[in-house]
Amino acid sequence: MKRAYYSNKIQDFLLEPESSILGKLTANHSNRTLEELQINAWKKQIDILKDQLKAFNGKIYFEFSIPRMGKRVDNIVIINDVAFIIEFKVGDGGYEKHAIDQVIDYTIDLKNFHEGSHHIKLIPILVATNAVNYTETITDTISYKTAAKSNQYNISKTLKDFINPKNQPIDIAYWENSIYKPTPTIIEAAQALYKGHNVQEITRSDSGTINLSRTADCINFIIEKSKSNKIKSICFVTGVPGAGKTLAGLNIAVERMKADEDEHAVFLSGNGPLVDVLREALTRDEVITAKESGKKITKKEAAIKANAFIQNIHHFRDDNLLSNKAPIEKVVVFDEAQRAWTKNQVSSFMKRKKGVEDFNMSEPEFLIDVMNRHSEWCTIVCLIGGGQEINTGEAGLGEWIDSLNNHFPDWDIHYSNLILENNNYIKSEESKEWLIEKGICETELHLAVSVRSFRSEKLSLFIHELLNVQIEESKNIYLEIKESYPIVITRNLDKAKQWLRKKAKGSERIGLISSSGARRLRPLGIDVKNEISAPNWFLNNNQDIRSSYFLEEVATEFDIQGLEIDWACVAWGGNFYMNNTDWKYQSFKGTKWQNINKEIDKEYLKNTYRVLLTRARQGMVLFVPESSDIDYTRPKDFYDKTFEYLKKIGITEIE
């Protein structure tokens, strides 16, 4: 795929007429409505670069694609041992922070996801054409604490500051043809799919991994088979934390909408914060995209469209309580289906909130029953995260299997091989045996590799061993991942925050997260009972005090499950602490801690920490507080042994 609108050797670019360069740029530019504004910007860039690049040999690119971000960087110039990532702000008289972050983001994206850029020197440069001369510290630029700054007259000098003629030149042919393997956040992915990009453009497809494309192909085949043979089918898509289950679901919903509008494919999630964040992200992006295209759309109009694409599962449930007719949807994707409620939980809710006295179905049974109203065919796609049930009354995969066994024996069932191999999914041997006899095993329905933590695909395994107190296994995995995925520990919250701020570059998102049961972190300024606005926390920029960047508001497992940030501080609470050789489980009621004795509630709490410890894409700091001599709710036992255990595994303490 051609990544740039225009590319040429620098010396040939200098000789090529402006009209020819503009013609090539215009031919590749899809947006005609901004043509005059864009052409004027290109004319200025061409004029400046022709003047400033006379002394150099190498290659130049205009409008180089950064697919994960859905953006294009103005210029990339490769000279000797350096690739310069250049963003122009034509007419600007100052070096604005948002522009600095923008060019750093482009640079980091290439460094992380473009194979040819992994091991070369990439330098971000912000060119504000009318700004004053400004010399930035070279070490700060190389480490991406900031970008090099230039005006239209001193680009040449800025380039020379970073070029070392003694170093091995970049292999430009190899760089150009290198694979781009992005791992977008779910927010970025949703925006890209919504705009019409396909999943292959925005995700990695390394050989040896069961990637999203193969999973999509498998589900599409099952849907088409169901349609042709007039049968009802259900697919259980599983995966490790961060493997892209939600992305797989969004992709299927989009693909089926394109394949046949009459299927009315819909993406449903019971995760309120996820729904709110994705809807708001799509709404904001739609408004911005329309503005850039010279069109006008109100935020309200954009929101109506986004809300139709992503819906809350509880609204779907409630709508179908009012009618016994088959729903319009033939293909339904249920995100985080393991969080659907047990019969007792939904019965209690219906009685208290809906005035329905005799409701006697679990949520999985009711949702299947709704789709079973179709006279011919339908397909349910359940996205299941094993070991991620975190709330009272969440049924897990077992309830879906039991519902099919007891009430819907004629449905075709397709499941991944991991469901039988891993006890995180189904605990009942009887249910496993029934599934083996009745279902069809599909290896493509398990997403085996985490793409959230692109720096270390073994993070989820490390957290699994850590939570299961497998010390030697945890030690060995930590040694493998610690260079590519930094994990550190501290007992000082200020140090933890400093570490995050130092690690994050450009607009990489940092945040403070903790268990909703960690109530006695409040004396330290971490109040888990204070509800956040998830869209503000996840989407607002680093100038907004409500955003995650300010490290003031804490997100709990309920806010962040299904989402992710780049760098996290996980604040460890007294509700889950190491007691000699195993974990101690507690909840805080009134003025004191109470032991958690039910195994299911212990499992929920352990899964809470599993969720928290797998939210960061690039690294995390674990904050284990000191005890208090005057506060009986924060004794040494609750913290010291946890800290010692994490240190024993090998996790490095911040000095």
Q: Give tens-digit pLDDT for 548-565.
A: 999 999 999 999 988 899
Top-confidence residue, 530 or 258: 530
Top-confidence residue, 354 or 597: 597
Residue type, 478: Y
Residue percentage of the chain with pLDDT more than 70: 93
Give yes or no for a contact between 231 and 377, defined as CB atoms under 8 angstroms apart: yes
| Per-residue pLDDT tens over the stretch 68-123 | 767 899 999 999 999 999 999 999 999 999 999 999 999 999 998 898 999 999 99
- Please check the confidence at residue 201 and state whether its pLDDT lies above 70: no
Provide the whole-model pTM: 0.83
Residue environment code for 91-126, b if the CB has 16+ CB neighbours within 10 A, otherwise e: ebeebeeebbbbbbbbbbbbbbbbebbeebbbbbbb
Q: What distance in Å separates the CA atoms of residue 188 and residue 168, rounded to the nearest whole number?
A: 36
Q: Quote the mean pLDDT of the chain.
A: 90
Q: What distance in Å separates the CA atoms of residue 287 and residue 434, rounded to the nearest whole number?
A: 50
pLDDT score at 294: 76
Residues 6+ apart with CB under 8 A from 509: 538, 548, 549, 565, 566, 567
Structure token pair of residue 20? 């020819």
pLDDT score at 346: 87
pLDDT score at 38: 82
Going by the DSSP 8-state scheme, the letter that residue 459 receives in this structure is H
Write the burial class of residue 526 (CB in 10 Å: 0-12 exposed, 13-18 middle, 19+ buried).
buried
